[in-house]
Amino acid sequence: MKRVTDERLKIDMLKNIRIVFIFQTLGILAILIYTGISKGPDAAFHSPLSLVFYGTGVILGFQQLRVSADMDEMGKHKLKKPMPYYGLVLIALAVGLGAGLLTFLTDPLHKLNAWIIGGVFFICFLAAYSVGYFIKKKRAEDDEDE
């Protein structure tokens, strides 16, 4: 097949892919709902199709980060000063400690569980904050270039 260089056809192609994507998503949802009704919700959650569905959602959300509307614009092009990175690490650490402590208090026999849950909370929050932090930092640098 010849490679399409025509910009009009490229846009048309993207529009077609969008329709196919909608069709595919509806299909996956229909199969999951059918599995959920006929074999119980557990079977639907553990089906590889649900993994594909979640994965698509995550990828789409990640890609949309750059498309989303600007929340940081305050008044006349004045940006909120971003929190220093160690502040974010401290918040994530506090959340992790809180979650770990809560697990420890509800189930003091299994200390390892508390460590694992606390650690997972810490890593998840830190990762989410880091992505936001680096996007803001990059934006601040871009603004300086203007």
Partner 1 sequence: MMNHVKITRVEAGLTQQQLAEKIGVTRQTISLIEKGKYNPTLKLCLAICYTVNKTLDDVFWIEKEE
Contact footprint for partner 1 (CB under 8 A): 5-9
- Minimal distance, residue 3 CB to partner 1, in Å: 10
Nearer to partner 1, 5 or 38 (CB): 5
- Cα 57 to Cα 28: distance, rounded to the nearest angstrom: 12
- Minimal distance, residue 7 CB to partner 1, in Å: 6
Nearer to partner 1, 10 or 110 (CB): 10
- Cα 141 to Cα 135: distance, rounded to the nearest angstrom: 10
Calculate helix-pair angle for 85-106, 111-145, nearest 10 degrees. Answer: 160
Nearer to partner 1, 9 or 58 (CB): 9
- Cα 38 to Cα 98: distance, rounded to the nearest angstrom: 40
Residue 43 CB neighbours (<10 A): 13
Q: Tokens at residue 100, please?
A: 């770990």
Contact criterion met (CB below 8 Å) for 89 and 126: yes
- Minimal distance, residue 83 CB to partner 1, in Å: 39
- Minimal distance, residue 9 CB to partner 1, in Å: 7
Nearer to partner 1, 10 or 80 (CB): 10
- Minimal distance, residue 16 CB to partner 1, in Å: 16
Contact criterion met (CB below 8 Å) for 52 and 28: yes
Nearer to partner 1, 9 or 94 (CB): 9
